[in-house]
Amino acid sequence: MIQTENLKKVYRTDEVETLALNGVHVEIDAGEFVSVMGPSGCGKSTLLNVLGLLDTPSEGRYAFDGQEVGDHSERQRAKLRKGNIGFVFQSFNLIDELTVYENVELPPLYLDIPSAERDERVEAALDRVQIAHRRDHFPQQLSGGQQQRVAVARAVVANPKLILADEPTGNLDSTNGAQVMELLSDLNEAGTTIVMVTHSPADAEYSARTIHLFDGKVVSENFIEQEYAAHPGA
């Protein structure tokens, strides 16, 4: 599903150049659940943005679903993104002016799905995250956990092949966090590929594999078993 080779991302500001990604190789197969961990500022979000086609790498190759996308235009990337990739953010990023229902309705709207089917899908997604009873509320009227569940519903409503989650539990308490993680692993079991950035080893346990980043580089790829071996009882 995802293959990158020597991905680099350079941010240039007036004074400094930051090498946020410094030659990243990753390979993620369809159906995998992968965590990305590493210290703050090591380039996790940058990697996720590049993988999610929200940002372009400065250098390197990236093939998404077998398709080379490194030199895609903004338009092409937007097209590819649509319906294929869903996002969940630490800060939810719901649109304040829209109700729960309308927020979740956006991806199918942009996909021009006819309204009857759209309605069905939105209802199903809302049911899945158990938030259907709040469908007419605005985001500010919900708790953080509820908001993140709406965000998950919105990420899955278009049945994407890939869900990218950037610290989805970062703003949640442990109960709400666990709920969201359950949702994600259910989705994975149903076949969706998931890449999740997290600082929490507990959350990382939901995934089958963890990629460790340090200073823009992959330093190790540990399968859950190895992780257990290194830190028994963690």
Partner 1 sequence: MLRNFLTVAVRNLRRNGGTTAINIFGLAVSLAVVLLVLLFVREQWRIDRFHSASDRIHRVTTLRMNDGAHFATAPTPLPTALRESAPGIDAATAVDQYGDTFVVRGDTSLGVEAMKVDASFWQVFDGFQLRAGSRERLLAQPHTAVVTLEMARRLFGTDNPVGRTFLHEGETEYTVTGVLAPPDGPTHVGGDVFLSLTDASSAGGDADAWGDVYSQWTYVRLAEGTSASDLEATAGILFERGAQPEDASDYQLSVQSLATLRFGPRLWNEIAGRLTLSGWTFWFIGGLAAVLLIAAGFNYVSLSVAQSLRRAREVGVRKTLGAQQSQLVGQFLGEAIVTALSASVVATMLLGGFVPLFNNLYLLDLLEIPPLDLNLLLDPAVIGLIALTGVVVGLLAGAYPAFVLSSYRPAQTLRAQGDSSRGGGSQRLRSALIAVQVAVTLFLVVTATTMLRQTWHMATADHQLRTDRVASVALQDVPYDTFRDAVDDLPSVQDVAAINNLMLGPSSYDTRYLRSSLVETPIKTVSFAVDTSFVAHMGLTLRASVSNWDRAYVQGDGVLLNQAAVEKLGFDSPSAALGAEITEDRSETSGVGRTVVGVVDNFEYTGTGEVYGGGLADPEGPMMLYANARHYKYALVRAGSDDLAVLRGDLKDAWTERFDTLHPFEFRYYDDIVRMRYGPLQDVAYLTGGVGLLTILIAALGLLSLATYQVQTRTKEIGVRKALGASVTDVVVHLSWPFAVLLVGTALVTTPIAWVVNHGWLQWMPDAVDVEGGIVVLCVGAVVGVCLVTIGMQTVRAARLDPATTLRDE
Ligand X SMILES: Nc1ncnc2c1ncn2[C@@H]1O[C@H](COP(=O)(O)OP(=O)(O)OP(=O)(O)O)[C@@H](O)[C@H]1O
Q: Is residue 191 a contact residue for ligand X (CB under 6 A)?
A: no
Interface of this chain with partner 1, residues 115 to 154, rule: CB under 8 A = 154
Cα–Cα distance, 37 to 183 (Å, whole number): 20
Q: Do residues 159 and 147 make contact, with C-beta atoms less than 8 angstroms apart?
A: no
* Binding partner of 20, given Mg ion, ligand X, partner 1, none, CB within 5-8 angstroms per partner class: ligand X
Cα–Cα distance, 104 to 95 (Å, whole number): 10
Interface of this chain with ligand X, residues 171 to 190, rule: CB under 6 A = none
* Binding partner of 18, given partner 1, ligand X, Mg ion, none, CB within 5-8 angstroms per partner class: ligand X
Here's the x/- map for partner 1, 189-208, by CB under 8 A: it reads as --------------------
CB of 213 vs ligand X, minimal distance in Å = 7
Q: Is residue 179 a contact residue for Mg ion (CB under 5 A)?
A: no
* Binding partner of 175, given partner 1, ligand X, Mg ion, none, CB within 5-8 angstroms per partner class: none
Q: Is residue 20 a contact residue for ligand X (CB under 6 A)?
A: yes
Q: Is residue 18 a contact residue for ligand X (CB under 6 A)?
A: yes
Considering Cα of 189, then 194, then 199, then 205, what sign does the dihedral take?
positive
Q: Do residues 108 and 115 make contact, with C-beta atoms less than 8 angstroms apart?
A: no
* Cβ partners under 8 Å of residue 1, min gap 6: 28, 29, 30, 32, 64, 65, 161, 162, 193
Here's the x/- map for ligand X, 31-50, by CB under 6 A: it reads as ---------xxxxxxx----
Q: Which of 199, 91, 197, 200 is nearest to 144 (CA)?
A: 91
Query: What phi and psi, each to the nearest 5 degrees, are found at residue 139?
Result: -50, -40
Cα–Cα distance, 105 to 110 (Å, whole number): 9
Q: Is residue 45 a contact residue for Mg ion (CB under 5 A)?
A: yes
Residues in touch with partner 1 (CB under 8 A):
45, 49, 52, 54-55, 74-75, 78-79, 81-83, 87, 89, 91, 93-98, 102, 105-107, 109-112, 154, 158
